[in-house]
Amino acid sequence: MTITLPTNWRDLQRASRDARANAWAPYSKFQVGAALLTTTGEIITGCNVENASYGLTICAERVAVCRAVAMGLRKFSAICISLTGVPVPCGACRQFLVEFNPDLIVLLDNADNPAGTEPEVMVLSDLLPRAFRLLEP
Ligand code: ZN
């Protein structure tokens, strides 16, 4: 199955990379940005926020979702995740995202590539098959 990029993927990539620059990652030095696209076109960003008590660290993707939900936004169509290396969301974030849309389009942006380089695109249900759910989507 071919998955197409959202038409505004460049806006998502830009927002995700801009958010990445704000990451608080003094321990790992591993900066991550995320830009969540709502079904009504809003772009909500997040960055990872580390803590001296390592277990309290939160990923960029979950920051973006929490910000959106706090703003009353719950319907998401895509997320762009920007980081260096292998740009995939961790397992916790996959589960966190599937709560809102198992068919979420996930843009995997390797921030080592120049801006404007097309990110890899996947569907969340391919990244987290048979996800744990208590509610129907
Ligand atoms: Zn994560």
Give the Cα separation of 99 and 128 in Å (integer).
11
CA 100 to centroid of ligand 1, rounded, Å:
15
Domains of the chain: 9-127 (3.40.140.10)
Main-chain phi, psi angles of 113, to 5 degrees: -80, 150
Give residue-wise pLDDT tens across range 18-63. 999 999 999 999 999 999 999 999 999 999 999 999 999 999 999 9
Ligand 1 centroid vs 55 CA: distance in angstroms? Answer: 12
Q: In what order do the strands lie in the sheet with 76-83?
A: 43-47, 33-38, 76-83, 105-110, 120-123
Predicted pLDDT at 133:
92
Average pLDDT over residues 105-131: 97
At 83, list the tokens: 């980081």
Judge contact between 60 and 19, C-beta under 8 A. Answer: yes
- Residues with catalytic roles: 61
Q: What is the pLDDT of residue 137?
A: 63
Do residues 17 and 8 lie in contact, with contact meaning Cβ atoms separated by under 8 Å? no
Q: Over the stretch 55-100, which tens digit does the pLDDT of each residue have?
A: 999 999 999 999 999 999 999 999 999 999 888 999 999 999 999 9
Centroid of ligand 1 to alpha carbon of 110 (angstroms): 16
Q: Where are the alpha helices (DSSP H) in the chain?
A: 9-20, 60-70, 91-98, 124-127
